[in-house]
Structure 1
Amino acid sequence: MEPSTNNPFPQLFLRIALAAALLSAVADRFGCWPASQSAWGNMTTFIQYTGKITSFLPAGLTTTNAYLATFAETVLGILLILGYKTRWVAMATGVLLLLFAISMTLTLGIKSTFDYSVWVGSAGAFLLSTQKHYRYSLDALIA
């Protein structure tokens, strides 16, 4: 059975899943998840983690990188949920997750990237960016 290209739900699911992953990571940095389920729990710990995965960059950039990543994940997550400028937002999400994957691979090893599914997230975002139409989105309402 050939898959239908008219079914908008897998695309919508991918958009929401990517957004949820991005926004969940941001929420963790601000202590919104219980400690037992938290990777960082606060921004200070996330800044330290950022320093670890960007150790090949000057140390003075660590805090800036942490806040830039948090800002980017927040904006991209919200725009993915809304479905606004979806093609470009999906492409930016793919690039951001690819940068995370490369940084994690260089500093923590390849296994960490599989545990956090950053390659899958990046690939999914790039796939989303190739779609022709984004039904159930602001893009569709505006068009």
Structure 2
Amino acid sequence: MTTLAQLFTRIALGLGFLLPVGDRLGFMGAPDSGKAAWGDWQHFVTYTHQLMPFTNMYTANIAGLAATIAECVLGICLIIGFKVKWMGLGAAIITLTFAVFMIFSLGIGAPFSYPVFVFTGAGLLLYTHHSFPWSVDALLNKN
């Protein structure tokens, strides 16, 4: 059952990173369509700036780009099962960082309106595992 649980966790966490990336790139629907949180890059950067009010919009854009690249790498690697242990730790760090920014900018309840701490916990659980059947890691370890 542990094997199935960690596989499900990897896929759910990976999709949990990739779907918001698709949203900010406009693949989930237009802004204000009710189908997307942001709907485009500009709305996402505005939200990033809201979480980081001590920055200017240029810096928020750079931070948003860095987060987007990290989330793409984490999402893809978790789904295919590459370097899962370290991707789990990376997922925990990025989501905990997000939660801290949410708390300071939007209040203590903000990260609880989304599964931010669930993502952090899932990443930490993956980090505690040492083998990942049904993964690229398992295939590489066989060779």
TM-score, with normalisation over the residues of structure 1? 0.92
Are residues 1:90 and 2:88 paired?
yes
Query: Which amino acid in the other structure matches residue 103 of structure 1?
Result: F
Shift of 1:139: 0.4
C-alpha separation in 1, matches of 2:37 and 2:110: 13
How far apart, CA to CA, are the structure 2 residues paired with 1:112 and 1:139?
A: 35
Distance between the aligned counterparts of 2:19 and 2:64, measured in 1? 15
Q: Secondary structure at the match of 1:37?
A: coil
**Distance apart, 1:119 and its partner CA:** 0.9
Give ranges in structure 1 of 5+ residues lacking alignment: none
Q: Give matches, 1:1-143, under 5 Å.
A: 7-34=2-29, 35-56=33-54, 58-59=55-56, 60-143=58-141
Question: Unaligned 5+ residue runs, structure 2?
Answer: none
Percent identical residues: 36
Cα deviation 1:101-131 (Å, max 9, x = unaligned): 0000110112120111101111111111101
- CA-atom RMSD, angstroms? 1.1
Q: Distance in 2 between matches of 1:65 and 1:22?
A: 16
Q: Which amino acid aligns with 2:121?
A: A
- What letter corresponds to residue 136 of structure 1 in structure 2? W
User: Could you list the runs of 4 or more consecutive aligned residues of structure 1 that deviate by over 3 angstroms after TM superposition?
Assistant: none
Aligned equivalents of 1:24 and 1:109: distance in 2? 25
**Number of equivalenced pairs:** 137
Distance in 1, Cα, partners of 2:13 & 2:65: 20
Letter in 2 for 1:24: L
TM-aligned CA deviation for residue 55 of structure 1: 1.4
CA displacement 1:75-123 (0-9 Å, x = unmatched): 1100001110111111011100000000001101121201111011111
